[in-house]
Structure 1
Amino acid sequence: MDKNLILNRLEINHKTARIAYQIYETFDENDEIILAGIHSNGFILAQMISSYLSKIMNCKITLCEVFIDKKNPLNTIKTSLEKTEYANKNIVLIDDVLNSGSTLIYGVKHFLEVPLKKFKTAVLVDRNHKKYPVKVDFKGISLSTSSKEHVQVIFEEDNCYAYLE
């Protein structure tokens, strides 16, 4: 399959900054926010969002890495923070691509096992082709795709981009 560029580095930076501003507008009255990035690309995106947020938001920003087996999301989900560290806090669950919705929905389920102040979700690319009824609160781009197409986001040390294959 051919690779079709969806987002280049500059566009990803703009989308990430916009997501950060949307998070700021939603949580501007709060003193702490937890950005929970799904392992690998979701966590990298959470780090990028955190970098933008730290420039515009005057609150404590905590990063949390979420480990979900994407092939079998019913397996135990682990996080880099203990449940007591995010209980009664504001959380944004972040992933790079909303594909079928299973990873995000099981991630949401995990965090809802404890009381939270406010809970939102964010993705860089929303495929609009989901198996589960999941809607994200903050998204970089919506993309209508066929079930045979795959969106890939690449985060390299000196470059990042997203393409459709």
Structure 2
Amino acid sequence: MQNKILSHVQIQHKIRRIAYQIYETNVSEKKIIIAGIVGGGLNFAKKLQAVLKDITTAEIVLCKVMMDKKNPIKSGVTMSIPESEYKNKSVVLVDDVLNSGTTLIYGVHHFLKTPLKQLKTAVLVNRNHKKYPVKADFKGISLSTSLQEHVIVEFKAKNDAVYLGE
């Protein structure tokens, strides 16, 4: 059984609000790197990038963050852009759901190997089941859920939705 917890319109509002928070945090930047974790994070990052392009003159660079989410230690983390593109820049690491924190912490760890101006994290849904000390700087909604419940984020043309299922 699935319960819809965010509708398309609600998600669009949250994307816009998070984009403005990112802009306000980076108001003096000429370039902002939006690093989306492949999967839902990359889809969310693309939506943030589109809104940011409307509200700032800064160059908004989309970066794909690739890893095996089930075994990030073994697979490692790779980027779609060279390190020189994000070195000494402001980076926002984006995922759709912050669950245990594993994916975000390995993404953060990768970026910490390079000098950055600043590193922030953004998620659409923040669940409170963290295994690692990682937080979302920008979040759409926080949910207290049971471990048996699953958050499903669907990014579909004009029909985005977030569901809570078992």
Counterpart in the other structure of 1:4: 3
TM-score normalised by L of structure 2 = 0.96
The 10-residue stretch of structure 1 (89-98 or 71-80) with the greater mean CA deviation from structure 2:
71-80
Residue pairs, 1:11-160, within 5 angstroms? 11-74=10-73, 75-160=75-160
% identical equivalent positions: 56
User: In the aligned structure 2, how far is the partner of 1:31 from the partner of 1:73?
Assistant: 32
Q: Kindly state the Cα deviation for residue 40 of structure 1 after the two structures are TM-superposed.
A: 1.6
Distance in 2 of aligned mates of 1:29 and 1:158? 32
After TM superposition, where is structure 1 displaced by more than 4 Å over at least 4 residues in a row?
none
Q: C-alpha distance in 2, partners of 1:29/1:128? A: 33
Query: Which residue number corresponds to residue 164 of structure 2?
Result: 164
Report the aligned-residue RMSD: 0.8
Name the SS for the 1:85 alignment partner.
Answer: helix
CA distance in 2, matches of 1:129, 1:76: 23
Q: Which runs of 5+ in 2 are unaligned?
A: none
Deviations 1:1-25 (A, max 9, x none): x101111100110000000010011
Instruction: For 2:130 and 2:154, locate their aligned partners in 1 and report how far apart those are by CA, in whole Å.
Output: 21
Q: Could you tell me how far 1:97 is from its partner in structure 2?
A: 0.1
Deviation at 1:157, TM superposition (A): 2.8
